[in-house]
Structure 1
Amino acid sequence: MLAGRVTTNSRCRMSAVTLTTRPDGVAVLTFDQSGSKANVLTRELWTEFGDALTSLSTRADVTGLVLASAKPGIFIAGADLKLLANAPVPNDPEVRAFIEQGLRVLEQLEALPFPTCAAIDGAALGGGLEVALACDCRICGTNPKVQLGLPEVKLGLIPGWGGTQRLPRVLGVSGMHQASTMLTTGQSLDYHGAVAHELVDVAVEPATLVTQAAYYVLRVDRKDRRARKFYPLSPPWERQRFKPLREPEPGAATEAVRVLYEGERLPLRQAIQLETEAFMQLAGSEESKRLIAEFFNRKGTRG
């Protein structure tokens, strides 16, 4: 179906990000964090990611961008939880700076003058899925390790990089209940579920994933897809239309539902501001710190 071999005609190497350019003008940005089994969204990775996007934004030779990972079975595992575990209290300035840094980079991604695609062949969880949601399209491999989810509620948190707002806009009006379920339970989707719920555009053989993504990204209507994300999901007169299937337990899940249903009637940027303030009240809370500590204990690591 797809013609052409992937070759490189320009290359820029950073410690965690590699940029290559294909003959068709599609740039491929590959995450490969040195010394780590997974790509984790640290302050340093956000900086390198942002610098790469800045360099791409002025290149007239680039026709599209594919985000990929060199880690087997992992796209991006999520945020640097050590920083969140050490937050002394809610609304900590260091945590806010970390969240705002990521939001700025994702705004850069959504402002690029060419279409973008996330090529996912493994876990895209939490912040990893939020990066993918900021792309114009998503393609995943038919890999049993594919997991797409926002599990922050299990850590006493909600997504902080736009996940509560981009997820429902990507899934659409008919996907509001699925978005609510994912946000309140931390449920992940495999590649079958991701395709069925239109969280990804298509699933392909892993060996051809990046090539297929480069082919697909050149055929995406980026203006239409971005418009659908930037505007409210439903107009003000329909603000009572959506209700969760069941009321969640108090805590992070309740906040996720509130932010989801209040944000869907706002423009994206305002909705994300709503999310940020809710996130900042949860990060550094005793409940969140306890759940993050339990997570580290299960993994055998220290926060």
Structure 2
Amino acid sequence: MSQAITVSVRPDSVAVLTFDQPGNKANVLTRELWAEFGNALAALDRRTDVKGLVLASAKPGIFIAGADLKLLANAPGPNDPEVRAFIELGLRVLEQLEALPFPAWAAIDGAALGGGLEVALACDYRVCGTNPKVQLGLPEVKLGLIPGWGGTQRLPRIVGAKEAIEMVTSGRSDSGHNAAKTGLVDTTVDSSLLIEEAATRVNQHADARMVRAKKQAPLPKATSSTVLADTIAAQEAIRVTSEGAALPLYDAIKLETEAFMRLAGSDESKRLIAEFFASRKK
């Protein structure tokens, strides 16, 4: 099997983990990529010569495009064991990422959508380049789903519940500039300086404990939503985001998982995924 991930360690002891899935124009979160990502993180966790991590992509205009939708499209129905195993694999890998003994930055210079953004949300910090293809969003509701890898819970802990609910229920994507305004990304820089800037900031933010503690705790005050939800997926997104805000992060993610499992494999979701694939062939 060809490698989709390479890891290098710079002279300043910052590791750069680069996604470059062979044979694909985009990096897609398949079971194989999740497994390779988890193995790479485990190897980094054991190293004593690394003081920070930068996640990057070698794909022009793409960070990580999202989940392997073919698996979800082929699910025989809700609560499919194969889909649950897929979701739980990704969740375990993101827990590994959040438990590293050094800070992690996502260096985003293209599309970070769905699961791709959820990977970035599990990092301690995020920096965007100026590539016009930069998009950050959780468009799952457009496929009859909600985010399944912690997006409904990490996003509100970063940008606030009100902003997160609007973003998740609309499925909108933001540019790097707009994401910086909401606090979704920490800074934007010229694309040519992206990795260097991320590495510099690793050295400036050597201790991520406060950031992680804030993300893992319940939100100080739950926010009621005035967003109108016209689909079951949007209704579930509002409920899960709102109810999860009162829980510690990993308890909240369990709430998200059960809601995701009820939606994945539903007739509505499979129809919308089929329409998505059809639209890409035109």
**Alignment partner, residue 209 of structure 2:** 223
Determine the C-alpha separation between the residues in 1 that align with 2:227 and 2:77: 30
| Aligned position for 2:110 | 122
Q: How does 1:1-303 map to 2 (within 5 A)?
A: 15-171=3-159, 175-220=160-205, 221-234=207-220, 238-239=221-222, 242-300=223-281
1:172-191 deviation digits (Å, cap 9, x = unpaired): xxx32211111001001101
Judged with a 3 Å threshold, the aligned counterparts in structure 2 of structure 1 residues 93 and 268 are, in CA distance, closer, same or farther, namely same
- The answer on whether the counterparts of 2:65 and 2:116 sit within 8 Å (CA) in structure 1 is yes
Aligned equivalents of 1:138, 1:14: Cα separation in 2: 28
SS at match of 1:90: coil
Scaled by the length of structure 2, the TM-score of the pair is 0.98
Task: Report the count of equivalent residues.
Answer: 281
* Separation of aligned partners in 1, 2:70 and 2:228: 31
Instruction: Write the distance in 1 (CA, Å) between the matches of 2:196 and 2:131.
Output: 16
Shift of 1:197: 0.4
Separation in 1, partners of 2:168, 2:218: 19
SS in 2 for 1:74: strand
CA shift digits 1:56-78 (9 cap, x unpaired):
00100000000000000000000
Shift of 1:14: 6.3
In the superposition, the TM-score normalised over structure 1's length comes to 0.91
The sequence identity of aligned pairs, in percent, is 67
The 3-state SS of whatever aligns with 2:77 is coil
2:242 is matched by which residue type in structure 1?
Y
Shift of 1:219: 1.9
1:265 is displaced (CA, Å) by: 0.6
Deviations 1:83-124 (A, max 9, x none): 000000100000000000000000000000000000000000
CA distance in 1: counterparts of 2:281 and 2:20, whole angstroms: 23
Superposition RMSD on alpha carbons, in Å? Answer: 1.2
2:55 is paired with a residue whose SS is strand
Distance 2:2 2:196 in 1: 22
Conserved 8 A contact 2:166-2:227:
no
One-letter identity of the residue aligned with 1:110: E
Question: 5+ residue gaps in structure 1?
Answer: 1-12
Contact 1:26 1:214 in 2 (8 A): yes
Q: Distance in 2 between matches of 1:229 and 1:79?
A: 23
The residue type equivalent to 1:232 in the other structure is P
Letter of the structure 2 residue corresponding to residue 293 of structure 1: A
**5+ residue gaps in structure 2?**
none
SS at match of 1:218: helix
Shift in alpha-carbon separation, 1:217–1:14, aligned structure 2, 3 A: farther
